Amino acid sequence: MAITESVSTPIAGLASPNHTPNRPAMLPNVSNVVLGSLHVKPWYPSFYPEDMIGGRRADWLYVCQWCFKYTPEIMKFSAHCKVCPLQDEPPPGDVVYEKDGYAIHQIDGEEHKLYAQNLSLFAKLFLETKSVFFDASTFLYYTLVLQDSSGNPHGQVIGFFSKEKMSWDNNNVACILVFPPWQRRGLGQILIAASYELGRQEGRFGGPERPLSTLGRRGYLSYWCGEVVRNVLQAPLKKVLTVKDISDGTWILPEDVVAALKEMDVVEKRKTAAGNIVINKSKVKAWAEKNDIAELPLIDVDAFVKEEEIVYEEYE
């Protein structure tokens, strides 16, 4: 294989899916990266081997858009792209969600170790690292596939989130990213919504790995606010809602529900006799109209593939 198969490091961290950073904390060790035919400027350093990127800083790195293998040499990159087995095949993993030209594939990091490692290395160019884990087998990856992508009838991976198979903190996301060429389309919100729905299906009541970066928190606040708005406005007119009610209905942690309410500035100064906070429903409605919050959820729960619907073929 022309492009390196070096073992890399999967990343656990958070960055905003829909915003670019103003000033990266560290200078990237790759000046320019080519993903397929797209030129992208990295934001942060990644853990590519120094001998593969030509020292401590590489001017150019070429990454296969299908398998995410990489090389600093354009001729090797061109040769690989002609024979990459994934260019004519569906992306790895089982489809767990499919609607409106997008699909989400679940990938076991143990089963697709090299793919997960190379995907994580590429993602690190656009993520601030909070933690680094060297064993991809302990993670599940959920890739977002654009199905009408040119060049492959099965679509192209344009982002993903990962999570630990067993999280002591019940986190439903370790790392989340929409690749820069596909940002500012609300796709990060779809990934966040999917992470919560998958967590609900598993009985995993939690949220993203903490602490959140400034930009990561901004992306999550946007999601929390939208979900809280829909929950509040769909409640019966005279029903008294508690934070726990909203939390139970959205699967968002109570403290994150409170953060959303404060972000929308809909909390009254007064409290109930029991000490509960009071929200102004008319303010919630006004905030929803101002921010163009849709009545329908971000994702269609019925578009998730039930486990019994996944067909496995046996080969002798």
* Catalytic residue list: 209
What is the amino acid identity at position 11?
I
Q: How far is CA 112 from the centre of its chain?
A: 18
Q: How far apart are CA 234 and CA 229, in angstroms?
A: 8
Q: Identify the burial level of 234 via C-beta atoms within 10 angstroms of its C-beta, where 0-12 means exposed, 13-18 middle and 19 or more buried.
A: exposed
Q: How far apart are CA 260 and CA 220, in angstroms?
A: 9
Q: How far is CA 193 from the centre of its chain?
A: 9
Please give the backbone phi and psi of residue 39, each rounded to the nearest 5 degrees, phi first. Answer: -95, 125
What are the E-state strand segments in 46-198?
58-63, 70-71, 94-99, 102-108, 129-132, 139-146, 156-164, 175-178
Look up residue 164 and give its two tokens: 């630990």
For β-strands 139-146 and 102-108, DSSP reports them as: antiparallel
54-55-58 Cα angle (round to 5): 60
Look up residue 19 and give its two tokens: 């915003």
Burial 13-50 (b: 16+ CB within 10 A, else e): bbbbbbeeeeeeeeebbbeebbbbeeebebbbbbbbee
State which H helix or E strand residue 119 sits in: helix 113-124
Q: How far apart are CA 178 and CA 250, in angstroms?
A: 23
Q: How far apart are CA 264 and CA 204, in angstroms?
A: 27
